[in-house]
């Protein structure tokens, strides 16, 4: 099927067969469906809030999806995760001057006193937060058009059909989930089946009978282990981290095609997608210009999907985009129009469950435990587990065991390697993590 570039969400929805189901979902235990034509009519009747900045708790409920589609292009929309901590949500609400919260009434009441209800702004952007701790997460300013262009780029490489049914399981507050579980299928007139959360994941596959779904590696492995993939499922798109070979082979053994996606919040999601037999060799999307720096860092230029910047952080924006190229912080190999990811240069670790760890703050806390004289760095091994590399004669196992108790399992130090020489550093003193050798 041909892929079409749409300038707006309304034009995307309007171009599809209006009698086809756009969404299927559950409401109070009852399964419901709404066609493209019906959804557009409800969008047009949606009451427009007087506040200029709207925060939406972006769960995969029909109410949240309707609010997003109805307000994007009419108000500044900030997508929030209802699963984030209260501290994180408070910081995000204050930072972006949210005046009204939609999507979870009880949660919204908790923050009513800090809303900036009189804040005035003219922009109609869509804000996503990068992963990180409260102080380091940045608000990325995207536009409705850039998100639609991202759907075009993904669909150009990996088209769907109007007969497809995509099961949406990923949080819509992350750009990967938003573009690849909503805009990608809707741009082809497919049906989006809204998942009911982790508690209902055992029932959603046999109930909806999807032909395609979008996953993070940890979720893909869990579904395989529990044998939850339905017979009708023909394709999975995996992103937000590498997928171990046993999981990949297990999914393929069921006759399900596996595609990997590489993208960033700053580029409105997908930069490259695997479309051949090797899922780790990804084809660069049509709008993108990709090159490698001298140290193999991936540099990306794409005006059609690039962020407008980090909100109220001009300095960070200038550091990220230089001469039109976004410095991704990821290391890669490029062969013609394909690219493979070989590691990460930036100070963030991405885990199989889609969570991320901001290394400067993590290492700052670890330094309190190890002492100011410790020469150490946090890296990952081939299994994407956290590894402590340290140049210190005194063993630190007991201290690390205590330190680990304060972090979720995927963020805990799984291995300690002792080196007998100073860790490799740049001329400015920055540790070169990718140059540290781990002997498996």
In a shared domain, residues 376 and 431: yes
pLDDT digits (tens, 9 = 90+) for 233-262: 999 999 877 777 888 889 999 999 999 999
pTM: 0.81
pLDDT of residue 36: 98
Does residue 17 lie within any of the structural domains?
A: yes
Of all residues in the chain, what percent carry a pLDDT higher than 70?
95
In a shared domain, residues 368 and 305: no
Distance of alpha carbon 266 from alpha carbon 147, whole angstroms: 11
pLDDT of residue 193: 98
Does residue 2 lie within any of the structural domains?
A: no
Does residue 240 lie within any of the structural domains?
A: yes
pLDDT digits (tens, 9 = 90+) for 7-21: 999 999 999 999 999
Does residue 3 lie within any of the structural domains?
A: no
In a shared domain, residues 50 and 167: yes
139 CB contacts (<8 Å, ≥6 apart)?
78, 92, 95, 96, 127, 128, 129, 310, 311, 312
Question: At 251, which helix (H) or strand (E)?
Answer: helix 245-253
Q: Is the pLDDT of residue 426 over 70?
A: no
- Token pair, residue 117, equals 């209800």
Last residue of a domain, one of 343, 363, 381: 343
Q: Is the pLDDT of residue 352 over 50?
A: yes
In a shared domain, residues 429 and 328: no
pLDDT of residue 295: 80
In a shared domain, residues 54 and 172: yes
In a shared domain, residues 387 and 308: no
pLDDT of residue 420: 81
In a shared domain, residues 390 and 306: no
pLDDT digits (tens, 9 = 90+) for 198-240: 788 899 999 999 999 999 888 898 999 999 999 999 999 998 7
Q: What is the mean pLDDT of residues 303-320?
A: 94
- The CATH number linked to 266 is 3.40.50.12780
Q: How many domains does one find in the chain?
A: 2
Residue 418: DSSP 8-state: E
Q: What is the mean pLDDT of residues 288-308?
A: 93
Instruction: Give 123 or 371, the one with higher predicted confidence.
Output: 123
41 CB contacts (<8 Å, ≥6 apart)?
none
pLDDT of residue 277: 84
Distance of alpha carbon 173 from alpha carbon 4, whole angstroms: 25
In a shared domain, residues 241 and 390: no
In a shared domain, residues 371 and 338: no
Domain span at 326:
9-343
Last residue of a domain, one of 311, 343, 375: 343
pLDDT of residue 133: 43
Distance of alpha carbon 38 from alpha carbon 19, whole angstroms: 8
Distance of alpha carbon 173 from alpha carbon 352, whole angstroms: 18
State the average pLDDT for the chain.
90
Does residue 213 lie within any of the structural domains?
A: yes
Q: What are phi and psi of 88, to 5 degrees?
A: -65, -45
């Amino acid at each position: 099927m041909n892929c079409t570039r749409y300038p707006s969400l309304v034009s995307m929805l309007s171009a599809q067969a209006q009698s086809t189901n756009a969404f299927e979902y559950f409401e109070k235990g009852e399964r419901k469906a709404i066609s493209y034509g019906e959804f557009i009519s409800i969008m047009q009747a949606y009451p427009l809030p007087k506040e200029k900045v709207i925060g939406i708790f972006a769960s995969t409920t029909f109410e949240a999806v309707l609010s997003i589609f109805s307000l994007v292009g009419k108000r500044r929309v900030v997508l929030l995760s209802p699963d984030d901590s209260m501290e994180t949500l408070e910081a995000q609400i204050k930072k972006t001057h949210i005046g009204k919260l939609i999507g979870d009434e009880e949660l919204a009441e908790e923050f009513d006193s800090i809303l900036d209800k009189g804040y005035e702004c003219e922009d109609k952007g869509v804000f996503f937060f990068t992963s990180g701790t409260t102080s380091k997460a940045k608000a990325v300013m995207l536009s409705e058009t850039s998100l639609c262009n991202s759907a075009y780029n993904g669909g150009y490489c990996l088209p769907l059909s109007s007969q497809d049914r995509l099961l949406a399981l990923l949080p819509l507050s992350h750009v990967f989930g938003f573009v690849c579980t909503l805009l990608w299928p809707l741009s082809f007139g497919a049906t989006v089946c809204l998942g009911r959360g982790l508690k209902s994941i055992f029932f959603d596959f046999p109930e909806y009978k999807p032909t395609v779904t979008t996953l993070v590696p940890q979720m893909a492995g869990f579904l395989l282990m529990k044998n939850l993939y339905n017979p009708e499922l023909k394709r999975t798109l995996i992103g937000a981290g590498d997928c171990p070979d046993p999981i990949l082979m297990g999914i393929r053994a069921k006759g399900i095609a596996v595609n990997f996606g590489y993208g960033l919040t700053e580029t409105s999601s997908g930069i490259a997608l695997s479309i051949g037999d090797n899922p780790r060799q990804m084809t660069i999307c049509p709008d993108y210009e990709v090159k490698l720096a001298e140290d193999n860092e991936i540099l990306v230029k794409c005006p059609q999907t690039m962020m407008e910047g980090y909100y109220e952080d001009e300095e960070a924006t200038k550091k990220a985009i230089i001469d039109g190229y976004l410095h991704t912080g990821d290391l890669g190999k490029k062969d013609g129009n394909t690219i493979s990811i070989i590691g990460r240069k930036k100070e963030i670790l991405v885990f199989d469950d889609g969570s991320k760890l901001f290394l400067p703050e993590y290492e700052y806390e670890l330094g309190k435990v190890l002492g100011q004289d410790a020469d150490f760095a946090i890296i990952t091994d081939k299994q994407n587990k956290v590894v402590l590399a340290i140049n210190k004669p005194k063993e630190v196992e007991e201290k690390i065991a205590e330190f680990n108790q304060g972090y979720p399992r995927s963020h805990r130090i799984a291995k300690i390697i002792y080196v007998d020489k100073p860790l490799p550093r740049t001329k400015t003193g920055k540790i070169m993590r990718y140059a540290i050798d781990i002997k498996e």
